[in-house]
Amino acid sequence: MIITVVKLGGSLMCSSELRDWLDTLQSLATRTNIVIVPGGGEFADKVREIQVSLAFNDQVAHRMALLAMSQYGYLLTGMSQNLRVVEDIETLLSNLGRGLPLLWLPTALLKDDTGIPASWDFTSDSIALWLATKLAAKSLVLVKAKALTQTESTLEDYIENGVLDKGFQKFTEKYQGTIHLLDKSHSQQLIDLF
């Protein structure tokens, strides 16, 4: 069964393109299995800010950032009623093939030992890659609000320039599928991948 994981960056939260992405993902879900991973966006940015001022540890910040991803996920359900929310791998797998995009909320990661370090070096980019690996997804698509430049041609370039998180490289070794980065204005390019 072919699965594509699409991480919708939290930085798209207030962009006019977000609705285009949701519509595109909805139309693609009739042809292939789409699993959406929400970024953390402004919700995760607030966690970073509060951690600095209150000085709590990275384990607490990591859990709060996972909840921030879920908050953004619920925001997405308010914009598109056709998303089916799933919170664990078993439920996700049992809902494949139904013609609807699945929105995976990482709440199960609050309890499970996944091997994802509790560090800001491992954000929703790395979590999406972890999920794509776990599902043996054919493709991982990372949607960024930041315009991607021609000079950033390798994953190392994207990591070095802060487009991807610092921990992303650690998870690429186990992933067998393809990784695509698209900026927010290129939702139609996603259709070209299929």
Q: How far is CA 182 from CA 17, 94, 189, in A?
A: 12, 29, 8
Query: Does residue 2 fall inside a structural domain?
Result: no
Q: What is the pLDDT of residues 123-135, one digit of tens each?
A: 999 999 999 999 9
Sheet of strand 84-86: strand arrangement? 84-86, 102-104, 33-38, 3-8, 139-144, 178-183
Pairing type for strands 178-183 and 139-144 reads: parallel
State the DSSP string of 69-108. HHHHHHHHHHH-TTPEEE-SHHHHHHTTTSSS-EEE-GGG
Distance CA 149, CA 91 (A): 38
Q: What is the pLDDT of residues 136-179, one digit of tens each?
A: 999 999 999 877 766 667 888 888 888 899 999 988 989 999 99
Query: Does residue 122 fall inside a structural domain?
Result: yes
CATH number at residue 24: 3.40.1160.10
Query: Does residue 154 fall inside a structural domain?
Result: yes
Query: Does residue 3 fall inside a structural domain?
Result: no
pTM: 0.93
Query: Does residue 117 fall inside a structural domain?
Result: yes
Query: Does residue 1 fall inside a structural domain?
Result: no
Amino acid 102 reads: L
Q: In whole numbers, what is the pLDDT of the chain averaged over residues?
A: 90
Query: Does residue 59 fall inside a structural domain?
Result: yes
58-79 vs 41-54: helix axis angle to the nearest 10?
A: 160
Query: Does residue 70 fall inside a structural domain?
Result: yes
- Number of folded domains in the chain? 1
Which domain range does residue 146 map to? 8-192
